[in-house]
Structure 1
Amino acid sequence: MQQVCLLTVVSLFVTSAQCKTPGLQTRITDRALEYATEVALDILSKQVTGQQIPDQHGQSGDVKFDITGMNVKQFTKPSSRVSLIQNVGLSWSTSGTGLAIHGDFKYKYRKGIIKISDHGSFDLKANSINFQIKIEIGMDGTGRPTMKAVGCSCNVGSADIKFHGGAAWIYNLFSGQLENTLKDMVGGGNGLLCKQLNTLIDVNGMKSLQKLPVTVQIAKRFLLDYRFLSKPSFQTKFMETYHKGEVYWNAVPVDAPFAAPPLLKSSDTSRMMYIWLSDYVFNTMSYNALKYNQLQYNVTNKDLPSGVLNTTCPQSTCIGKIIKAIGTKFPNTTVMLYMKSTSMPNMTVQNGSTVVNASGDIVFFAQQPGGKYTYFLTLSATMSTTISLMIQNEKVFAKVLKLPISVTVKDSKIPVSPEGLNFIVKGIVSVFVEPKLNELGAAGFPLPVINSVHFTNTQLTVAKDTLLIATDLKYSG
């Protein structure tokens, strides 16, 4: 099923938040709508061309006629214009549409004792067709967008019919009425074009909206919520929408105990679409990850280069050689590190950089015979990670640029030297933490976009509390 790009682009984002600061905001400009209508007319042309028209039967004076087998052979694209209507949605109007229709006819002429019947085919050209339709955009009770076609009107400027076969002089007796009949079938609020437009908006368009990912599962544990907070806001050159932009614990979707910060202000309309993504989105995920014990991990030899966590080794690259007290107290075994966050990792976006601050404990255990573990050391760790962000395939990707980690001894059953702490940081923690963070960043953070709409000419701006994505769009439906 093909879909009108106008509907698809409009259906991406809808709202205007008055009661709560959004975690995500979008702006769709008049440039996007102009592009959308061009694609929409291409699709409308494909759907109208070949369309079958119901048979018609009529009488004009002494002539009875039947028109059958009608279908649209050609659709001439018009010029079009989309305007934004405050508190309603969009108004789409066109001028100069043309249609070519082919069909068959038969007639019976009877006057006194004269009886004539014949059949043939005809070609109708309808020109200067103008239509206008309004599209109401709103939201339902679940926070999903809605759209509805309202008040379609269509006017056919002229119609020219040519008959093939039969007695030419009889055509003049009913051609005028037939032309008017066919004009009414094409034009009017219930004509061919308005029916197709209503179907595209009310049926195809709503099916497109159902594919819009307003909630997305992440790692089967979290729920990314892009539902709309209220109806759209319409300005002269753009429509703006506001979304919840929060990540929940999937099993218990409860709001985080902090609000989203204000988003960056911008008046730019040079691109087709703008997306403001707040650091609130990441921080709500971080909050729930800590709350539901997702920020903890047991690090063993399988997570690190071979033998690093051994307490005995022929070389000097294992933990038992670097921190000799471990090798002496727990020979011929391995160490396990239990890493856990002690506070919520917090992302801050400002001055062109994105930083994640985190703190936690690293607890050391030595494995004993029989699978038991003996505790011997706890370190406090802090890190301030600088990451780079990029937009690709309608997702936000991240990569670690700098990962400074500092550790201090919180509790210890053994002596630990500064050299030993340095080895733990550089040789163990960094080797494990950075790949894990890059693995998360490479998975990508999905933006609420339907599959058939893609970003082109995209620019990412990093400002206070905000990632601002400015992009043009390409439809590939």
Structure 2
Amino acid sequence: MGMQSVAVACGALALCLALSTATNPGFVVRITQAGLDYAQEQGIAILQKELAQLKLQDFSGKSGKVHYSFSRLHIPTFRLPHSRITPVPNVGLQVSISNAFAELNGDWRVKFLFIKGHGSFNLKVENVNLKIILRLGSDTTGRPTISTSDCSARISNVRVRFSGKLGWLYNLFHRVIERKLRKNLESKVCDNVAKSVHNELQKYIQTLPVTAKIDNNFGIDYSLVAPPRATPKSLDLDLKGEFYSLAHRSPIPFSPLPLAFPSDHERMVYFGASSYFFNTAGIAYHEAGALVFEITEAMIPKEARFSLDTSIFSAFIPQLEEKYPNMPMKFRLSTPTAPFLTIGPGGISFQPIVDIQAYAILPNSKLAPLFLLSLTGNVSAVINVRSGRIVGSLDVGRIRLSLKDSAVGTFQVQFLQSIMNILTSNVLLPHLNARLDEGFRLPLPDRIQLSNILVRFHQNFLLLGADVRFQPRG
């Protein structure tokens, strides 16, 4: 094999290894051009305010026999009327600002031979053009980073007017002064842009949660698995998207599948929540023992018109009446395995398996195990977004029962069907739906509100779309 063939083979092997070790995201955030345009509006408003507070250094010089100095320079007006933000593949974002204008005021002093004078001046700056390249990346914690990789400011038109007794003297060499003021301002504008990006924008984007705490026991890992990816039409953030226990984080026994993200662009932002994202929740809650629920007499609604005691079951379980007559009962529901859902164009569905252990509560408050049932059923979910959180509710179709174990003899489980339907629909589901209605926080930076929500189902992931509004402080 020749050297060229070896190089090709090594390159192909490296590519295969890279592809095999690439981490697919469990959750994707896409900011469309409409979203970038809105972000640009908010950012330009902040930048405009920052530029109006520019501090320019005093400077002095000499032109022929004239010595001059400028001091107390300040900018009462800086306007950025035309701007555009566009993604730059493999880099980040480009911000273009054209036809900006500003005013600059200050004081001047002059010495010409034995003549001294002072006064004020006004500088009008027109046709200011800025180009700013923002490089996007991620740090070791999976947080996004942003920095100014390039900035150019060009001022094509400067007009200065001097007031004071010797203002006429300045007008003799105003072009020299205008050139110096223009260069000073061009340099300071880019310095201030870099400062604003570092102090304001970088600080703000890092409010994007790397971890979203659900409660004292669970959280969601929203760290970046790769730097933000700019495409010609959007900015994509690939996030881990994984639920975990705060006490003990176990590795997930499967990996997220690639998401075939659609080219929708009607909304400013889209969220792709994969089936992996939801299934890690099932694993985390199951392994932590959180998918356990008990049903007692006090939880049964009055409209059900039955008491949870052995007498209601004794008609078809004779041994129950013999061993535990008229005793209160309790059901303990648990999942033998983590629930696993699927997402397709028709929505979210799964068939969880639930073990139901029935107990008799003895006079001394001890529990006597009676029988163990296995319950399965088709469960569907309704998903929405409210207050920046994914919320949902479950609905259960007809359930199916089987007897796994019994300490009171065998019996026909179909006799329990109606009772279990009541307990499922009136006790279990309301409890689960109350928790799901609290929702799980979406990966959003501070002070962002969502509106115009869109919910669509695709193969292997849920697509959420929304428009955004930034809420300034105060």
Match of 2:362 in 1: 368
Name the CA shift for 1:85/1:17 in 2 (closer, same or farther; >3 Å).
farther
Deviation at 1:278, TM superposition (A): 0.4
Match of 1:238 in 2: 234
Matched, 1:216 2:212: yes
Deviation at 1:448, TM superposition (A): 0.9
Which residue type is aligned with residue 413 of structure 1?
A: A
Q: Secondary structure at the match of 2:436?
A: helix
Match of 2:63 in 1: 60
Which residue type is aligned with residue 224 of structure 2?
A: F
Q: In the aligned structure 2, how far is the partner of 1:341 from the partner of 1:163? A: 83
Match of 2:117 in 1: 118
Q: Secondary structure at the match of 2:364?
A: helix
State whether residues 356 and 372 of structure 2, in contact with CA within 8 Å, keep that contact through their aligned partners in structure 1: yes
Equivalent residue for 1:298, pick from 285, 294, 300: 294
What pairs up with 1:137-176 in 2 under 5 angstroms?
137-176=136-175
Match of 1:409 in 2: 403
Q: In the aligned structure 1, how far is the partner of 2:171 from the partner of 2:293? A: 88
Name the CA shift for 1:243/1:17 in 2 (closer, same or farther; >3 Å).
farther
Q: In the aligned structure 1, how far is the partner of 2:449 from the partner of 2:436? A: 21
Q: Secondary structure at the match of 1:377?
A: strand
State whether residues 218 and 244 of structure 2, in contact with CA within 8 Å, keep that contact through their aligned partners in structure 1: yes
Equivalent residue for 1:252, pick from 242, 248, 258: 248
Match of 1:394 in 2: 388
Q: In the aligned structure 1, how far is the partner of 2:144 from the partner of 2:172? A: 53
Which residue type is aligned with residue 470 of structure 1?
A: G
Which residue type is aligned with residue 122 of structure 2?
A: D
Deviation at 1:474, TM superposition (A): 2.4
Per-residue Cα deviation, 1:175-206 (whole angstroms, up to 9, x for no partner): 3332222111211xxx2211221012222222
Deviation at 1:379, TM superposition (A): 1.4
Which residue type is aligned with residue 426 of structure 1?
A: N
Unmatched segments (≥5 aa) in structure 1: 1-15, 309-314
Match of 1:465 in 2: 460
Q: In the aligned structure 1, how far is the partner of 2:127 from the partner of 2:450? A: 36
Match of 2:52 in 1: 49
Which residue type is aligned with residue 126 of structure 2?
A: N
Per-residue Cα deviation, 1:125-161 (whole angstroms, up to 9, x for no partner): 1111111121111122222211110121111111111
State whether residues 50 and 196 of structure 2, in contact with CA within 8 Å, keep that contact through their aligned partners in structure 1: no
Matched, 1:92 2:95: yes
Match of 1:8 in 2: none
Q: In the aligned structure 1, how far is the partner of 2:79 from the partner of 2:117? A: 32
Match of 1:434 in 2: 429
Matched, 1:226 2:216: no
Deviation at 1:174, TM superposition (A): 4.8
Deviation at 1:48, TM superposition (A): 1.8
Per-residue Cα deviation, 1:42-86 (whole angstroms, up to 9, x for no partner): 111112224332222333333333322221111122422333322
What pairs up with 1:257-276 in 2 under 5 angstroms?
257-276=253-272
State whether residues 225 and 239 of structure 2, in contact with CA within 8 Å, keep that contact through their aligned partners in structure 1: yes
State whether residues 222 and 285 of structure 1, in contact with CA within 8 Å, keep that contact through their aligned partners in structure 2: no
State whether residues 454 and 465 of structure 2, in contact with CA within 8 Å, keep that contact through their aligned partners in structure 1: yes
Per-residue Cα deviation, 1:352-375 (whole angstroms, up to 9, x for no partner): 222232112111222223332211
Q: In the aligned structure 1, how far is the partner of 2:325 from the partner of 2:303? A: 14
Match of 2:16 in 1: none
State whether residues 247 and 281 of structure 1, in contact with CA within 8 Å, keep that contact through their aligned partners in structure 2: yes
Equivalent residue for 1:288, pick from 284, 304, 321: 284
Deviation at 1:389, TM superposition (A): 0.8
Equivalent residue for 1:194, pick from 183, 190, 193: 190
Instruction: Give the TM-score taking structure 2 as reference length.
Output: 0.87
Unmatched segments (≥5 aa) in structure 2: 1-18
Deviation at 1:350, TM superposition (A): 1.7
Instruction: Give the TM-score taking structure 1 as reference length.
Output: 0.86
Q: Secondary structure at the match of 1:52?
A: coil
Deviation at 1:328, TM superposition (A): 6.1
Q: In the aligned structure 1, how far is the partner of 2:101 from the partner of 2:399? A: 69
Deviation at 1:317, TM superposition (A): 4.1
Which residue type is aligned with residue 384 of structure 2?
A: M
Equivalent residue for 1:319, pick from 283, 304, 309: 309
Q: In the aligned structure 2, how far is the partner of 1:446 from the partner of 1:245? A: 12
Match of 1:421 in 2: 416
RMSD: 2.6
Which residue type is aligned with residue 421 of structure 1?
A: L
State whether residues 309 and 326 of structure 2, in contact with CA within 8 Å, keep that contact through their aligned partners in structure 1: no
Q: In the aligned structure 1, how far is the partner of 2:172 from the partner of 2:290? A: 83
State whether residues 52 and 69 of structure 1, in contact with CA within 8 Å, keep that contact through their aligned partners in structure 2: no
Q: In the aligned structure 2, how far is the partner of 1:328 from the partner of 1:62? A: 120
Q: Secondary structure at the match of 2:416?
A: helix
Q: In the aligned structure 2, how far is the partner of 1:464 from the partner of 1:136? A: 33
Percent identity over the alignment? 28
Match of 1:3 in 2: none
Q: In the aligned structure 1, how far is the partner of 2:32 from the partner of 2:228? A: 13
Q: Secondary structure at the match of 2:183?
A: helix
Structure 1, 234-243 or 431-440: larger mean CA deviation: 234-243
Q: In the aligned structure 1, how far is the partner of 2:253 from the partner of 2:298? A: 38
